Structure 1
Amino acid sequence: MSDHEEAIGDNRLLVGDWELLGKAHTFLQPFASATLYAEGDDSSISQSLMLMDMLLLHYEEQQIYQSDEHSDERMVRAIDMGWFILSKYYRLTDEVPVYAAALLLDPRKRIAYIKQNWPKEWHEDTIASATAFWQKEFNYEQPSDHPSTPTSMPP
């Protein structure tokens, strides 16, 4: 037996361990893609919600897939816990209307993205909170003592 095999002892990976690593690698591929997509100067707030939507959908699909009789209980627990944490942070975005405003102002997404990807019962509150945020932070009215059009030409 070589020195490294002796040092490893009973800690070597068995066939089942390699299978679990393969499943984990496959499951984590969308996370690697999302990370690469979101890095750099082109990332945006609306992009983060879109990626969270995509990852939550991935979790939900995997929860169904992993629930059959051939599933690995360790993968099922890991998927359930990951879904729980991601959905917790996703729900926190409801408390900050800038996320919805960012989606509505993104020309590639706008209201169509919300209607297509979010439950119908979220639409009205989401749009209302984004509108209120916009009006409070950015919709400044001109002072009434300044006419909007000149009344005469300057000398």
Structure 2
Amino acid sequence: MLLVANQNAGSIDTYAKNHFATLQADYLSPKDWKQLHIIKSFLQPFYRATLETQGNRATIDCVLFTMDILIQYFENYLLNFIADKEFSLRIQKGWDTFDKYYSKIDESPLYAAARILHLNRRTKYICANWKTKWQKPMLKKVRDLWISH
């Protein structure tokens, strides 16, 4: 919706100006347009991530790698927009929701096993990108999974 609105900003603005009397509270000011542009920019990687991780081409490793990238993305945006309290709060709520699902990775060693078995990732990826407190317990779970099967 933001893409279409941005592409038709001139027409929307002209329409809104011509019907300002009835739209008043819904009129998009230049500040609103700027905020919509920021939101569109923020959401773009999530759109791309969705496209990259859907269908039968998506592997567990691909999904996890994408999630790790999105975590870094959340962190960077929070730092860049710390002065904008309203937008920072929205980013934080998004991150909290994302983290609720990301934390489910801890429930199964299969996710870590997918990382370890990937030729380019192995344990070095986990050691470089996961928090230290997650590494040893998960590596033990993967080891136990390997031994039990």
TM range (shorter): 0.7 to 0.9
| Structure of larger gyration radius | 1
**Partner of 2:119: helix, strand, or coil?**
coil
TM-score with structure 1 setting the length:
0.76
Q: CA separation in 2, counterparts of 1:120 and 1:23? A: 34
Aligned residues: 133
1:117 aligns with 2:119: no
1:86 match: secondary structure? helix
SS of residue matched to 1:99: helix
Shift of 1:7: 8.8
Letter in 2 for 1:76: S
Could you tell me which residue of structure 2 aligns to residue 26 of structure 1?
41
TM-score, structure 2 length as denominator? 0.79
Aligned residue number for residue 4 of structure 2: none
User: Higher RCO, 1 or 2 (CA under 8 Å, sep at least 6)?
Assistant: 1
> Matches of 1:106 and 1:99 in 2, distance apart?
11
- Identity rate, percent: 31
Shift of the alpha carbon at 1:8? Answer: 5.3
Query: Mapping of 1:1-155 within 5 angstroms?
Result: 5=19, 9-10=23-24, 11-68=26-83, 71=84, 73-136=85-148, 138=149
Deviations 1:32-56 (A, max 9, x none): 2211221233211121111111111
CA distance in 1, matches of 2:101, 2:113: 18
133 and 13 in structure 1: CA distance in 2 versus 1, 3 angstrom threshold: same
Higher helix share: 2
Q: List runs of 5+ in structure 2 lacking aligned partners.
A: 1-14
> Which 5+ residue runs of structure 1 have no aligned equivalent?
139-155
